[in-house]
């Protein structure tokens, strides 16, 4: 089997190494808008912490019976830095091996990791938005407050927007580059 072409393994190497940036930038963000908050509120999710206006969001969510968001709620913050380190290392090893079968294996790993991460995020949002306190000051029968997984959703008078942040887009880039390498190598080696 022919090794990967130079453009393929260098692209894979660079995009894998770019994931190191995710240790220093947020990977996801949730923005909220409402008439009483025209400037909006935001929360950023990092590999290992939360930032933004979490305290204000917690204060508002208290009225509808949602739990306070705390970093301790997320065991993922202890795992993610190591998991990303493993993905970076495997990406570098795959690129330097110049082996097409390893690229396919790496692509499968990225897809499976992405699906697990998105399911975990959805599950957390579901639990957070559906398990409301019976002591809530504001109760709307049949209303759940699950934030959107990706995109926009109206929650009472709030608009919620959830999208990858810089770190999340770097994961998307690595996935796109890996898919591109597989397609390019398949087409040019027939």
DSSP state of 25: S
Confidence of residue 151 (pLDDT cuts 50, 70, 90): very high
Domain spans of the chain, in order of start: 6-188
d(CA 45, CA 188): 40
Count the neighbouring beta carbons within 10 Å of the beta carbon of residue 70.
10
* Distance (Å) of CA 15 to CA 8, 59, 88, 95: 11, 39, 9, 10
**From CA 108, how far away is CA 61, in angstroms rounded?**
38
Q: What is the pTM of this model?
A: 0.89
Dump pLDDT digits (tens) for 50-71. 999 999 988 888 888 888 888 9
pLDDT digits (tens, 9 = 90+) for 12-42: 999 999 999 999 999 999 999 998 888 999 9
Dihedral of the CA atoms 106, 109, 110, 113 (nearest 10)? -160
In this predicted structure, the answer to whether residue 92 has a pLDDT above a threshold of 90 is yes
pLDDT in tens, 152-189: 998 888 899 999 999 999 999 999 999 999 999 999 98
How many Cβ atoms sit within 10 Å of the Cβ of residue 39?
6
Q: Cα–Cα distance between 42 and 90 in angstroms, integer?
A: 33
Q: What angle do CA 72, 57, 148 make, to 5 degrees?
A: 85
- pLDDT mean across residues, the chain: 92
6-188 to CATH, choices 2.60.120, 1.20.140, 1.10.260, 1.10.10: 1.20.140
Give the DSSP letter of residue 23: G
């Amino acid at each position: 089997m022919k090794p990967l072409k130079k453009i393929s393994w260098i692209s894979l190497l660079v995009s894998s190494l770019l994931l190191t940036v995710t240790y220093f930038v947020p990977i996801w963000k949730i923005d909220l808008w409402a008439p009483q908050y025209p400037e909006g509120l935001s929360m950023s999710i990092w590999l290992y912490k939360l930032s933004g206006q979490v305290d204000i969001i917690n204060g508002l969510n208290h009225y509808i019976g949602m739990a306070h968001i705390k970093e301790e709620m997320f065991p993922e913050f202890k795992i993610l830095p190591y998991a990303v380190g493993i993905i970076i290392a495997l990406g570098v090893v795959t690129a330097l091996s110049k082996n097409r079968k390893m690229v396919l294996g790496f692509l499968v790993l990225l897809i499976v990791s992405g699906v697990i991460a998105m399911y975990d995020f959805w599950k957390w949002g579901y639990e957070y938005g559906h398990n409301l306190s019976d002591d809530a000051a504001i109760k709307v029968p049949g209303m759940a407050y699950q934030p959107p997984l990706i995109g926009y959703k109206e929650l009472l008078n709030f608009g919620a927007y959830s999208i990858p942040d810089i770190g999340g887009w770097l994961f998307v880039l690595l996935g796109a580059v890996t898919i591109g390498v597989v397609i390019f190598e398949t087409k040019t080696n027939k």
